[in-house]
Amino acid sequence: MIRILKHTDQNLHMFLLQSGGTYSMHQHGQIELSYVLSGQITYEINRSVHTQKKGELALVFPFQPHRLTCSVEKDTCVLLLLFDVDFVPDFEKYFCEYTMPVYTFHKKELEHSTKKALSRLTECAKTPDCFSAVSIRGWLTVVLGDLFFKHDLEKRKVNLNYPFIRSITDYMTQHMQNGFSQENLCSAFGISPFFLTHTWKQIFYVNYNTFLLALRLNYADELLQTTDWRILDIALECGFKNVQSFSRNYKKAAGLTPCQFRLLKKQDPDYLP
């Protein structure tokens, strides 16, 4: 089961990931770029598994399902950037109209200028207040320019309009509590049922029903952590017909029942299924 991460108003996030972190299969509407500083990580992107070692780079397009596992080696450290398409406007056409069959890039493929830009981005992640958005955008432009102009691109079957797509997913998230139908969604955005049954998967890599189920489970996660509601009440609130259906789908996605998740979260607030 894929988890759908909520979009935030912040158009750039920078992290330094340490040893042993695991992020289950998920997708989000931002570009994800990772650079291994030491140790190694494993990426699963579109059902293809890649081992990324020191000095290597990976690029994940918006909404591509992926899983990330950091090695348990003590010295593993990874620079991770999440940013909106419009943060790098020079490359908007590439992200909207193409995909890249290659997701990971060996350090031997990278230009000296790219390695230098990645070094500056790493410095920025360590001391973010010392660098401006203009500088970060400039270094990202160097990195993306190297990747896009060296590798073949594949034309998308459907060009992406990210603001429009984001407005649809935001609508679904905001109306999860009150419930909505496919008819409501089509009416609100002037789209056809064909869009939901056929075009949807070309954009999100999963079908509409799978995407909707993931949103419901995300909402359930939120309620399990922030309320003391009964499991039955959470199930009904999230659109499930009964506790059995909710628990079955939740366990399939998270590997444990809603009750077990709530208990573990209380014991360890940083726990992620």
Token pair, residue 152, equals 């073949």
Band the pLDDT of 72: cuts 50, 70, 90. low
pLDDT digits (tens, 9 = 90+) for 45-56: 877 888 899 999
Is the confidence at residue 7, as pLDDT, over 60? no
If you ran DSSP here, which 8-state letter would residue 110 be given? S
**Residue 79: band (very low, low, confident or very high) from pLDDT cuts 50, 70, 90:** very high
Report the alpha-carbon distance of residue 224 to residue 257 in Å, rounded: 11
Fill in the amino acid letter for 135: S
The reported pLDDT for the residue numbered 8 is 58
* Band of pLDDT at residue 23, cut at 50, 70 and 90: confident
- Those residues with Cβ within 8 angstroms of residue 177's Cβ, 6 or more apart along the chain or in another chain: 219, 237
* Cα–Cα distance measured from residue 62 to residue 237, given in angstroms and rounded to the nearest whole number: 29
Cβ pair 22, 70 in contact under 8 A: yes
Would you say residue 270 has pLDDT above 90?
no
The confidence score (pLDDT) of residue 152 equals 86
Q: How far is residue 68's CA from residue 24's CA, in Å, rounded to a whole number?
A: 7
Residue 3 has pLDDT above 80, yes or no: no
In this predicted structure, what is the pLDDT of residue 6? 58
Domain locations in the chain as residue ranges: 3-155, 162-267
pLDDT class of 5 with cuts at 50, 70, 90: low
Average pLDDT of the residues in 96-114: 89
Instruction: Answer for the pair 44, 185: CB distance below 8 angstroms, yes or no.
Output: no
CB 176 within 8 A of CB 239: yes
CATH code: domain 162-267 is: 1.10.10.60
d(CA 111, CA 162): 30
> Are the folds of 3-155 and 162-267 the same?
no
**Is 63 within 8 Å of 27 (Cβ atoms)?**
yes
Residue 139: both structure tokens together: 């270094």
| pLDDT, mean over the chain | 87
Architecture of domain 3-155: Sandwich (2.60)
Percent of the chain with pLDDT over 90: 40
In tens, the pLDDT along 106-129 reads: 888 899 999 999 999 999 998 888
Indicate whether 193 pLDDT > 80: yes
Asked whether the beta carbons of 272 and 218 are under 8 A apart, the reply is no
At residue 112, the pLDDT reads 94
